[in-house]
Chain A
Amino acid sequence: MATEIHAVRRETAAPATGRPAMPGLLALAVLLLVLIAAPYVLYPVFVMKVLCFALFACAFNLLIGFAGLLSFGHAAFFGGAAYITAHTVKVWGLPPELGILLGTAFAATLGLAFGALAIRRQGIYFAMITLALSQMVFFMALQLKFTGGEDGIQAVPRGHLFGVIDLSQSMSMYYTVLAVFLFGFAVIWRTVHSPFGQVLKAIRENEPRAISLGYRTDHYKLMAFVLSATLAGLAGGTKAIVFQLATLTDVQWQMSGAVVLMTLLGGIGTLLGPVVGAALVVTLENYLAASNLPVPVVIGVIFVACVLLFRRGIVGEIAARFGNKRP
């Protein structure tokens, strides 16, 4: 099994180690400026959608890119948190920040339970187990009373952030989402560059060796899983507030597939890749929807091409081409 995980590493661009390099920082600064200016040029709700999915993809990437674990069930955390946030804000009347916090906490708990089960197996089994577990969450969302079945939870009030900032204004909502995204991104950045991140990479490269060095690898993998689930939940809870609803779409396995797609497209194991991938997929879905082209087919073809030809993804390919291994 260890050799299999090895292959993932070889195919992906080498992740950032040590201090981030200059071009990487530059790219980040440009991205930040673009994001601050974006709502004045683009439709704010669209950019908010991109940001929520970008955070979701970054959270997913933390697991596959830096711990070598392919989860096919991240929709459970994303959608589960969306439901909890929507319910607590709408029915319990909590302010949005508490709702998102509770949603995120729920995702963390769920992540702990699923992670503990899933890390008992590796590779393909790990993917299938996470997929099956998340499908269980889907069916529960379909049947439980509070989730509203097919209707989902609708008309969630955006409310006032900290009781002061009126989120029904699209600009204040936008900058709140941006802040959440930047926070999540910073957490991932910090994690990847911490000793914990180094151990994860060691496990991904060669698990038996990491074990022989005295690391309790299961423990580390579980922690990475929980962290990834938590951030996915943060993205899901935020999305519920932005769109004022939580529905089955958020917990469907197709959502898990979409995040795999975004991450692979952008570049597994690169920090910026998932952001680029998410922006690309959401944009494609948005603009192709108006045309007569079948969206899933176009995305599927791009995906297959990526798997066969560009396994490093967009950001990974760019980094490799320009000799910069630390995007």
Chain B
Amino acid sequence: MIARLLAGAALAALAVGSAQAQQGKISGDVVKIGVLNDRSGLYADLGGEGSAVAVRMAVEEVGGKILGKPIEVVSADHQNKPDIGSNLSREWIDRDGVDVIVDVPNSGVALAVQEVTREKKTIFLMQGPATSRLTGDACSPTGFHWAYDTRALAVGTGQAIVKEGGKSWFFLTADYAFGHQLETDTAAQVKKAGGTVVGAVRAPLNTADFSSFLLQAQSSGAQVIGLANAGGDTITSIKQASEFGLTQSGQQKLAGLLIFLSDVHALGLQVAQDLVLTTGFYWDMDDEKRAWSEKFKAKTGKMPTMVQAGSYSSVKHYLKAIEAAGTDDGPTVAAKMKEMPVNDMFAKNGKILPNGRMVHDMYLARVKKPSESKGPWDYYEIIRTIPGDEAFATMAESGCKLPG
């Protein structure tokens, strides 16, 4: 603890030094927020323009200005390609003076952007990406992982399903950083809870036809087919599983390991009913969340996903830290953000670990049956609150090499 305080003080001292070395308090006399995500592909619904809207809501709440300087929001589509994401963020920072990058779903792209922001000492507020490596071996002093991560999903959904009796697992995994990590983390939780993993098959991102992978899963004889994929891939695999009668026999059960509100909306309750999922946010939990979500819905026509709500929360916190630090210098603001607790409609008493992990409560939810739903967007029944410390890895467990 003392070591941590000392390190924090040293970091702050260094940062103050570098901030003073810079002339202006706000670089370029404008705070530029770049929302980088999938705006046209399979993850567009869970983040996309909605994340940009949420960020703009946060900016409007502070009056569009900070320390007397204007705040600007730009957005771009990384098309789920790590090279495009990496090049865009480099250009944004080098050429356009972007001060913070927000969202970046797709763990592969996020890992690439993390390298750029680390090198440029730029703040990176991650909402969409899932892999726990972003606060593990790939952590960065200016990187923040906000809404959820693969470990939290594994603790929530993985454990819950083993407890219900789903002992043997077969994974259908999206073949990139996110899927691999979700599979690894979930397998660890399954084994911890006394279950076994009989096998896994990896499908490329954005697969059109899962039938041959589903057949492999079926012939494995496992009780649970864990879908370690997201967005459009999850929707397609659940639909095709029902086309091939996978779950009709009653011997096998599908477990969607990462399901967003937007996925349930696309699938419809008839198909999605009774799926168990883990989420960091649900609009219909208290008055504050409802009020914010209704405002969001008025702008977009949809209720927010945890990614979109998290984008709002993280930018709000970032702006508060600039206010408190009196500068937009990356490392200084990052240190400030880690000092302050997160308290807004998204999280209560959220704390940020030195590796950038924002620790907050997660929720285990069950998708309602069509008969239980009272109206549009009434989709989840929250069955358990998972305390933040249980859901997320501690600094020591994370494997992050940063001082802390």
A contacts, CB < 8 Å to B:
43, 45-46, 142, 149-152, 154-155, 243-245, 247-250
Contact = CB atoms under 8 A, between A and B. Distances in A.
A249 B111 contact: no
Contacts of A250: 83
A43 B94 contact: yes
Given A45-B91, A243-B86, A151 B81 contact: no
B112 A245 contact: yes
Interface in B80-99: 80-84, 86-87, 90-91, 94-95
B108 interface: yes
A154 B81 contact: no
B204 A152 contact: no
A307 B175 CA distance: 39
A243 B91 CA distance: 12
B377 to A, nearest CB: 31
B116 to A, nearest CB: 9
A82 B270 CA distance: 47
A151 B90 CA distance: 18
Contacts of A248: 81
Contacts of B108: 150-152
A237 B205 CA distance: 26
Interface in B161-197: 175-177
A43 B94 CA distance: 9
Contact of A43 (B82, B95, B111): B95
A249 B175 contact: no
A160 B204 CA distance: 36
Among B82, B90, B112, B205: residue with most chain A CB under 10 A: B82
Interface residues on B, range: 20 to 34
B390 interface: no
B115 interface: yes
Contact of B83 (A43, A142, A149, A247): A247
Contacts of B175: 142, 149-150
Contacts of A247: 81-83
Interface residues of A, dominant DSSP:
helix
Contacts of B80: 150
B115 A149 contact: no
A155 B82 contact: no
Contacts of A152: 82-83, 108, 112
Given A151-B111, A244-B115, A249 B86 contact: no
B83 A249 contact: yes
Interface string B26-70: 000000000000000000000000000000000000000000000
Contact of A151 (B82, B91, B204): B82
5 contacts: A45-B91, A142-B175, A142-B204, A243-B87, A247-B82
Given A151-B177, A243-B87, 4 more contacts: A43-B91, A151-B112, A244-B86, A245-B83
A155 B83 contact: no
Given A43-B94, A45-B90, A154 B204 contact: no
A155 B90 contact: no
Contacts of A45: 87, 90-91, 94
Nearest to A154: B112
A41 B107 CA distance: 35
Contact of A150 (B86, B95, B205): B205
Among A43, A150, A249, A250: residue with most chain B CB under 10 A: A150
